Amino acid sequence: MRPCFRSFRYVSFFILFLLIFLPPASGQEKVKIGVITPLTGAIAHSGKDHLIGAEIAADRINAAGGVKVGEKRYLLEIVALDDQYKPDLTVTAVRRMLGSGVKIISTLGTGQSMAALELADPEGFLLLHISTGPSTTAKGVKMGVRIPSTMDSYASSSADALLTLRPQVEKVGVIWNTDPGHKAWGEIFSRTWTGHGKKIVSSEGIDFRKVTDFYPVLSKTLPLKPDALLVITMDEPLSMVVKQARELGYQGYFIAYEGTGDKIADLAGPEIDGKFMVVKTFYVLDPKKMEYLKDAYKKKAPGISPGTIGANGHEMVYLAALALEKAGTVTDMKAVRQAIPKVVPFPESMRGILSFDEKGDNISTFVLADYVKGKWVYLAKVYKKGDKPVIEYIK
């Protein structure tokens, strides 16, 4: 080959080499937030919700210029890994993220969060977990923060409010999901309810991930003539229980827990009409926020409607961003952790978080609602003043 062609080849390779391996033109600096969630498997739609909620929040913050830490501005980057809802894959994902410089991580699920919590203090990263089981904060991990509110306040206040709002209800039948968090919810509610001198006529556990025929459990529960059925599970199975109960002739009330979203209205509106009470943790008293979230979901992930987990994902990112700004650092995660209780309540909150304690649990405002003639009707607003729950009934 002629010499000038050969050197041409060498030069072009060299330029190509430079282009590939040189750092890209410096764009904005980024802070990564890791989302470890089931993107495949049976719970994949919850995982997707988690991710979309987080991404929408990050997009919104970035559109407003990102996070201002000290003098610099950082853009948020959401990094996602699939853990298939298996705790040891959660740990693998955590290790991988830590290895690539992620310092703020969000996990989904009690078991998965427990596995990640084992690493949070030793490795010094901030773990913002979406879990409902009491064990995740009882563990006392300093770098762990629970995003959903502690269920004690929801569960016991629901029972208290039921007393006032539906005085004709004497007997309650409980059907709970065998997830530890849902089970605990049922237990707290039952304790509070019987503490008022009322009755729990039955308490049945079902693995709602696997079972969708509720005739056996309903055939067993309904003859005991409950006035209200507390069903602790997600919207879709709840709608099936509601429908099947009505088919079997049940006329009473249904009570749902805080994981229930808006879908129940679409799925079983007529069946619950006027006979429903649900804890809503979306900050529904501001309809503009719900509209914003629904629109954002339509644009980002058409066909998927926002659920509680998505709202938690959104909340998680905002908490992280505000805490980074407050702490004034992107490297000292201990300082960021300490800043978290100081940034609530904040205006863009989807969940109305009011305060945090040192164990990483939070208190938020929530609302008790009924669904009447096609519309959500708000019955009461519940929040904590100091240690005591305050129930404000809405006329």
Partner 1 sequence: MKRWSLLLLILFLAALPLWLTAKYPLHLLIMVGIWSIAASSLNLILGYTGQGSLGHAAFFGIGAYTSALLMIRLGFSFWLALPSACVVAALFGFLIGLPALRTRGSYFAIATLAFNIIVTIIIEHWEDFTQGGAGISGIPKPHPIPLPLIGKIAFTTMAAQYYLVFFFLALTLFFIHRIVHSPVGKTYQAIRGGESLAESLGVNAMANKLVSFTVSAFFAGLAGSLYASYHGFISPDTTNFHIGFDLLIYLLVGGVATLPGPIIGAVIMTLIPESLQFLLEYRIILYGGFLILVVIFLPRGLVGLWRASLWPRIRMRFPANQR
Partner 2 sequence: MILLFQQILNGILIGSVYSLMALGLTLIYGILHIPNFAHGNKYMWGAFISLTLVAVFKLNYWLAILLSMAILAGIGLLVERFIFRPLQDQPHINSFIAAIGLLLLLEGVAFALWGGEWQRFPFAYRQNLNFFGITITLHRLLVIGVTALLIILLQLFIKKTTWGWTIEAVAQDRQGAQLVGVNVYLVSSMAFAIGTALAAAASSLVAPIYLVYPAMGSLPLIKAFVVIILGGMGSLPGAVIGGYLLGLIESLAGGYLSMVYADLLAFAVLVTVLAIKPTGLFGKKAEGT
Residue with tokens 């060299």: 14
Q: Check binding of 70 to partner 2 (CB under 8 A).
A: no
Choose the one of partner 1, partner 2, none that binds residue 363, judging by a C-beta under 5 to 8 angstroms depending on kind: none
Per CB under 8 A, 148 contacts partner 1: no
Asked if residue 215 binds partner 2 (CB under 8 A), the reply is: yes
Say how far apart CA 189 and CA 333 lie, in whole Å: 36
Sketch the per residue contact string, 171 through 210, with partner 1: x for CB under 8 A, - otherwise.
-------xxx--x---------------------------
Stretch that binds partner 2, among 18-26, 157-165, 211-219, 362-370 (CB under 8 A): 211-219
DSSP-H helix ranges across the chain: 3-21, 44-63, 87-99, 110-123, 135-138, 151-165, 180-195, 215-221, 235-247, 263-272, 287-300, 308-327, 333-339
Q: Which does 95 bind (CB under 5 to 8 A by kind): partner 1, partner 2, none?
A: partner 1
Minimum distance, C-beta of residue 96 to partner 2, in the bound complex (Å): 22
How far apart, in Å, are the Cα atoms of 279 and each of 246, 283, 331, 354? 22, 11, 38, 17
Give me the phi and psi of 39, to 5 degrees please. Answer: -100, -10
**Binding to partner 2 in span 38-57, by CB under 8 A:** 40-45, 48
Q: How many of the chain's residues bind partner 2 (CB under 8 A)?
A: 34
310 binds partner 1 (CB under 8 A): no
**The binder of partner 1 chosen from 61, 102, 115, 311 (CB under 8 A):** 115
Pick from 89, 163, 267, 372 the residue near partner 2 by CB under 8 A.
Answer: 267
Single out the segment in contact with partner 1 by CB under 8 A; choices: 106-114, 216-224, 231-239, 287-295: 106-114
- In sign, the C-alpha dihedral spanning 179, 148, 290, 85 is negative
Toward partner 1, which CB reaches closer, 126 or 242? 126
Using alpha carbons, select from 122, 125, 92, 94 the residue that is nearest to residue 107: 94
Q: Of 109 and 352, which has the nearer Cβ to partner 2?
A: 109
Among 75, 163, 201, 304, binds partner 2 (CB under 8 A): 304
Nearer to partner 1, 2 or 210 (CB): 210
What 8-state DSSP symbol labels residue 40? Answer: S
Contact 379, 393 (CB under 8 A): yes
Q: What is the C-alpha to C-alpha distance for residues 96 and 276, in angstroms, rounded to an integer? A: 45
**205 lies in the binding site for partner 2 (CB under 8 A):** yes
Tokens 């030793």: give the residue.
122
Buried b vs exposed e over 206-232: b needs ≥16 C-beta within 10 Å?
A: bebeeeeebeebbeebbeeebbbbbbb
CA atoms within 13 A on the CB side of 199: 10
From partner 1, partner 2, none, interface partner of 237 (C-beta below 5 to 8 A by class) = partner 2
Instruction: By CB under 8 A, tell whether 381 contacts partner 1.
Output: no
Partners of residue 38 on adjacent β-strands: none
d(CA 127, CA 141): 9
**Which residues 161-190 are close enough to bind partner 2 by CB under 8 A?**
178
Shortest reach from residue 212's CB to partner 2, in Å: 4
Residues at the site binding partner 1, with contacts judged by CB under 8 A? 39-41, 44, 48, 80-82, 86-88, 91-92, 95-96, 98-99, 110-111, 114-115, 117-118, 133-135, 139, 178-180, 183
Residues at the site binding partner 2, with contacts judged by CB under 8 A? 40-45, 48, 178, 204-207, 209-213, 215-217, 219-220, 223, 234, 236-237, 239-240, 247-249, 267, 303-304
